[in-house]
A and B are shown apart, each in its own frame.
Chain A
């Protein structure tokens, strides 16, 4: 909490990176030495010196787990971008009658039941009844008609936009009414969980990245200023960080997001906001970033405090560089490797925080978005016994994967930037 504490904690937690950041300063000199040495030694030892970026990339490529994590993330983000195309149904599409509530995942038939041979995959329509004793829902296939799964179907009633630009109504697959295809079952209103998980990724996967940028901006700005100018400004900013750190994060998040999303709150009134889904989304981003900037500011401050005393900063100053130039050209770039790693590793935290908020119903609103946390909320709503509708827990799996892969990616980057761990 005090300055002493910062200096004590920093090397302990971030030891390797700390040095990694400092290495940037030494880098040019070592390369120069190498170059002059090569000139003396002649062509025998000629070897192109690698740039820092190249070294990091080569190190990163050897990190199998991080690479796999990265590729899974690419896949997940692609499915989120093309959610409209991959999803057979719209985000809030459901049928009033006959309703298809709590349908288990639809069974896809690959073989002809009469001949037992492979056939075009098809599904049956399902009728629902209640078990007379247990009062549980029972589903039965109507085997009269087969509904083949069609690919590349146009559904004019369910248009979507890719990246908010390209409008289309082409869906990868679908079946004719009245049959429905629910790959991962349906919820209490008969909305398709598979489609909703795909659309939910658009919210849950982006919110972490956006919130990190908010936290990054605030942390870099305030941490940079505090570390560079010191004195009164430093004290003020660091006390502010302490104030934020003193209030338990979860409660602060809950209070802020529950108060701000009320359409009558003073801020919303001042800006004339109506709380649409997009705005609750942005609000969640800002609240997450606002609560999360403190740690980053503290770290950047201590990095800059130590970098300010290094020779190259003094040299730049001696050459007549202005304070702003020293800060922006020399000190902040020296924190880059650390910041990249730290940002990557804080994205999963923000994703978890968002799903938690959404789980409480305090994230982006349900109107025309879905979020994985919000979908998991369905599984605990009143009157639901999870053992009869286990598929409602499926949205937790992509959360797990997203967080896992971001962690793997971040660890890989950290090792790649760390000169101690070069392989």
Chain B
């Protein structure tokens, strides 16, 4: 039996980006052993109460409550591939998306987070397509509707606030904060969550979607590939819309409703980003 080193991962994502849903579905796949090639759990963790609570919510087709800033759940799992005997210990915290907004605004990292990124071997970066703020220009709208004569006075306009920043700018800034505090390159699995929303309206793969929807982030990752080796995943841990599809989900096994799309394939294996991060190539 081979034991690999510890693998610390950081899950980055703004509020509602799908981090907790991902962990819930991941825990289900690890433990259920439903999928032949997926990673599976090798021995139960000492405390699985939080993971089981997340999974129960996911199994009962309920939306997750927002993770609170003060609640950091440190998760440690020992997993193995079903095809060989390599055991890996995974450590990652489930932190609030609000914490990342606070970092962006306050320009400070707490030392616990700093230590976490300095010892991390990988990042999973979550993006929820439904919540992407784009840099929409007034001039583009005016081209469609014609140039209005402005009737607004100065008091009626809105001054810039941190949460006005486009999603791609915030995510780049968070990655830059990491880059300035690490010395070794780090792998980044970019996860486009709620992927069912994308594939229902367009035939796209995750990297094409990021390139067209968050072009600045795509450029940044490409330009910094030597420091941020990255790849893209489209993942719907929920599988679809609960209000419309719960009865359909109830006829399948829970694992079957998970959608995972890479550049090459589509499957239910939500452990693929972890496998990619674990792969030393």
A and B bound? no
